[in-house]
Amino acid sequence: MNEAAMTLEGWYALHDFRSIHWPAWKAADEEERAVALEELNEFLSAWEATGESKQGSTAVYTIVGQKADFVLMHLRETLEELNEIENAFNKTTFAKYTTKAYSYVSVVELSNYLAGSSGGDPMENPHVIARLKPELPKSRHICFYPMNKKRDLQDNWYMLSMEERRTMMQSHGLIGRGYAGKVKQIITGSVGFDDWEWGVTLFADDALQFKKLVYEMRFDEVSARFGEFGPFYVGNLLQADDFNQLMKV
């Protein structure tokens, strides 16, 4: 019997990780750098305006460590819009000075494991819509990683009954709720879109809360037995002014 969890989907997500090609940037003349920064600022303001008109949301963060230098996380109504954004950005002078570090394509997802039966069309429920089409916060820190649920002989998430999965997700949700107000999480589904099954994006003002939350979940059955994790990316909020400051050479 097909016991797939029912899911609701919202905005599509593109996590676009870039590195800055510092030698090329430093070798560019001052005028070229000014043009590049002007274009960057135009794009940052355009993304800000999209957010204000609730047509999507974009978060810009640095990435600490060698995996990337910054991430542009875009949420938009369609995959076409995400594609347009990445192509438009790739055509800028600024993008010439970046290299592609990693990317992730997914869609904001809510599952029905813990859904209350409030009745009615969930897509008419403003609380549900707010979670499916979230305004990305301007928290000080971001943490992103992709993950799977295991499909081993003994530990195969997809062979469990709905009831067994629901019980485990309840425990998972309870741990998560302990971090209410400290960590905001956005789960994006990526089965059929990218190399892992979900993207986990966390936002917090205190980066230590990422460590505490992820660590606590590791002891919980659903993560301990079934969680498989990809690379972790962690970084700091990059407002337009900070970005211009970062590019000063």
Residue among 33 and 149 whose Cβ is closer to ligand 76R: 149
Q: Token pair of 158, please?
A: 């997809």
| Other Cβ atoms within 10 Å of 28 Cβ, number | 18
148 is in an annotated binding site: yes
Q: What is the DSSP letter of 193?
A: T
Of the two residues 25 and 193, which places its CB atom closer to ligand 76R in the complex? 193
12 in a labelled binding site: no
Q: Measured from the CB of residue 41, what is the shortest distance to ligand 76R in angstroms?
A: 33
Distance CA 220, CA 209 (A): 17
Q: Is 127 annotated as a binding residue?
A: no
CB atoms inside a 10 Å sphere around CB 197: 18
- 102/179 with CB nearer ligand 76R: 179
Q: How far is the CB of 230 from ligand 76R (least distance, A)?
A: 11
Nearest to residue 40, comparing CAs of 82, 90, 81?
Answer: 90
The footprint of ligand 76R (CB under 6 A) covers: 5, 110-111, 113-114, 147, 149, 169, 172-173, 176-177, 179-180, 183, 185, 187, 198, 200, 213-214, 217, 223, 227
The C-alpha atoms of residue 25 and residue 177 are separated, in whole angstroms, by 44
Query: Beta strands 98-111 and 56-62: pairing type?
Result: unpaired
Which residue, 175 or 237, has its beta carbon nearer to ligand 76R?
175
- In the complex, the smallest distance separating the C-beta of residue 217 from ligand 76R, rounded to whole angstroms, is 4
- Residue 33 labelled as part of a binding site: no
Q: Is 133 annotated as a binding residue?
A: no
Q: What are phi and psi of 31, to 5 degrees?
A: -65, -45
- Known binder of ligand: residue 76? no
- Alpha carbon distance 156, 150 (integer Å): 6
Select which of 61, 97, 104, 145 is catalytic.
Answer: 145
Closer residue to ligand 76R (CB): 17 or 198: 198
Q: For residues 95-107, b (16+ Cβ closer than 10 Å) or e, as one string?
A: bebbeebbebbbb
Contact, 229 vs 214, CB < 8 A? Answer: no
Q: Is 145 a catalytic residue?
A: yes
Residue number with the smallest Cβ distance to ligand 76R: 176
Q: How far is the CB of 223 from ligand 76R (least distance, A)?
A: 3
User: Taking the complex as a whole, how short is the minimal distance between the CB of residue 4 and ligand 76R, in angstroms?
Assistant: 9
Candidates 84, 86, 105; CA nearest to 95 is 86
**Which residues make up each annotated binding site for Fe-coproporphyrin III?**
131, 145-149, 172, 185, 223
Residues annotated catalytic, as ranges: 145
**Which residues make up each annotated binding site?**
131, 145-149, 172, 185, 223
